[in-house]
C-alpha cells in the first residue's frame, strides 16, 4: 500500500490530536481480503489520520471496482484506472475505450497503475512495453497524472517516458525500490517518488501494524511510514506529513 508522494518522502499534512492528516495514494482495497470489513478499514484509516485514500486500479475489473468504491465513500476514497504490467497480456480492443471512459469520472484521478516489471515477467516484456506506451499516450491525451510501477526496468522506463517528455503529465513512481542513482534520475525528470513501509518492514515483526487489528497492510499503518521517514531524514514527522500531503493534493487534484 503506497504512501502519498513527494520528491523525497511519503504522505501527510499536519497534526490533529495525536495523529497526522495523511493521504494514502496507493491502497489495494479492491482486493478480496478487504471485502468483508471495508467500513472498518476506512474507519481505522480515518482514526489514524489518513483522511484520503486512492484505490489502485490494476486491471479493467479492479479499475471499475475502484471507481465503485470511490462513490461509496465520497471525499474519502478516490480511484485510478490502468493495466498493471503483470496484466499487460490481458489488453484487448476494449481496454483503451474502457479506461478512457473510467478516467472521465472526477473520482478517477490518475492513469495507472501501469508501467514495467521485468523482475517477474508475468506478461512478456514486449507486451508490457506496448501496453505501457498506450497508457502513456492516454495520459498525455486526457492530462491526468501517471501512476507508475517499475521493477528491474529503469532504463526502459526512462527511455519511454523521455519519448513523451514534451507532453508528459505529472508522473509518480509508486512504491520505489530502486537505487539512489535511479531515484535521482527520476527526480531530475520531474517525477515524484512514493515510499512505503515495504522498504523497511521486518516481516518477522509487526511494528508497522500498530494501528491495525489484522496482519495486513492497511492505510491505518501509514503514520508509521511518516515517522520512519522523519527519523531517517532527521526531520519532524509533522514536516514530512505537511510536505507529502501537500504534494499528494497538488499532483492528484484533491481538495484539502
CATH of 5-252, one of 3.30.2320.80, 3.30.465.10, 3.20.20.140, 3.40.50.720: 3.20.20.140
What H or E segment, with its residue span, contains residue 136? helix 125-142
pLDDT tens-digit series, residues 132-182? 999 999 999 999 999 999 999 999 999 999 999 999 999 999 878 889 999
In this structure, are residues 73 and 34 in contact, taking their beta carbons and an 8 Å threshold?
no
Task: Quote the mean pLDDT of the chain.
Answer: 88
Say which residue the cell 501494524 belongs to. Answer: 209
Flag whether pLDDT at 253 surpasses 70: yes
Flag whether pLDDT at 36 surpasses 70: yes
What span, in angstroms and rounded, lies between the C-alpha atoms of 67 and 235? 36
- Name the more confident of 32 and 3: 32
The residues, ordered by sequence, that sit 6+ positions from 73 with a Cβ below 8 Å of its Cβ are 42
In this structure, are residues 77 and 46 in contact, taking their beta carbons and an 8 Å threshold?
no
What span, in angstroms and rounded, lies between the C-alpha atoms of 41 and 49? 13
- Does 238 belong to an annotated binding site? no
What span, in angstroms and rounded, lies between the C-alpha atoms of 124 and 131? 11
Q: Which of 80, 65, 77, 71 is nearest to 30 (CA)?
A: 65
Question: What is the three-class DSSP state of 191?
Answer: coil
Residue 175 burial (CB < 10 Å; 0-12/13-18/19+)?
buried
- Does 174 belong to an annotated binding site? yes
pLDDT tens-digit series, residues 64-79? 999 999 999 999 999 9
- Does 7 belong to an annotated binding site? no
Say which residue the cell 531524514 belongs to. Answer: 233
Q: Give 197's pLDDT tier (boundaries 50, 70, 90).
A: low
Amino acid at each position: 500500500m503506497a504512501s502519498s508522494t513527494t520528491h523525497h518522502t511519503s504522505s501527510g499534512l499536519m497534526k490533529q490530536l495525536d495523529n497526522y492528516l495523511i493521504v494514502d495514494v496507493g491502497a489495494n482495497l479492491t482486493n478480496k481480503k478487504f471485502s468483508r470489513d471495508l467500513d472498518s478499514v476506512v474507519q481505522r484509516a480515518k482514526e489514524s489520520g489518513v483522511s484520503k485514500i486512492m484505490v489502485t486500479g490494476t486491471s479493467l475489473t479492479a479499475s471499475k471496482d475502484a471507481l465503485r468504491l470511490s462513490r461509496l465513500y465520497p471525499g474519502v476514497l478516490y480511484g485510478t484506472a490502468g493495466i498493471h504490467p503483470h496484466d499487460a497480456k490481458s489488453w484487448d480492443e476494449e481496454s483503451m475505450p474502457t479506461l478512457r471512459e473510467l478516467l472521465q469520472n472526477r473520482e478517477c484521478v490518475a492513469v495507472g497503475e501501469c508501467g514495467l516489471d521485468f523482475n517477474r515477467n508475468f506478461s512478456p516484456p514486449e507486451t508490457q512495453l506496448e501496453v505501457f506506451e498506450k497508457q502513456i499516450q492516454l495520459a498525455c491525451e486526457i492530462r491526468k497524472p501517471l501512476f507508475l510501477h517499475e521493477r528491474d526496468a529503469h532504463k526502459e522506463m526512462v527511455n519511454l517516458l523521455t519519448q513523451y517528455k514534451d507532453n508528459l503529465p505529472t508522473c509518480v513512481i509508486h512504491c520505489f525500490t530502486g537505487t539512489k542513482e535511479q531515484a535521482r534520475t527520476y527526480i531530475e525528470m520531474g517525477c515524484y517518488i512514493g515510499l512505503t513501509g515495504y522498504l523497511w518492514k521486518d516481516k518477522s515483526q509487526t511494528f508497522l501494524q500498530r494501528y491495525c487489528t489484522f496482519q495486513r497492510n492497511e492505510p491505518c499503518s501509514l503514520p508509521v511510514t511518516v515517522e520512519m521517514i522523519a527519523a531517517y531524514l532527521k526531520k519532524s514527522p509533522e514536516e514530512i506529513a505537511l510536505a507529502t500531503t501537500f504534494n499528494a493534493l497538488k499532483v492528484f487534484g484533491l481538495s484539502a
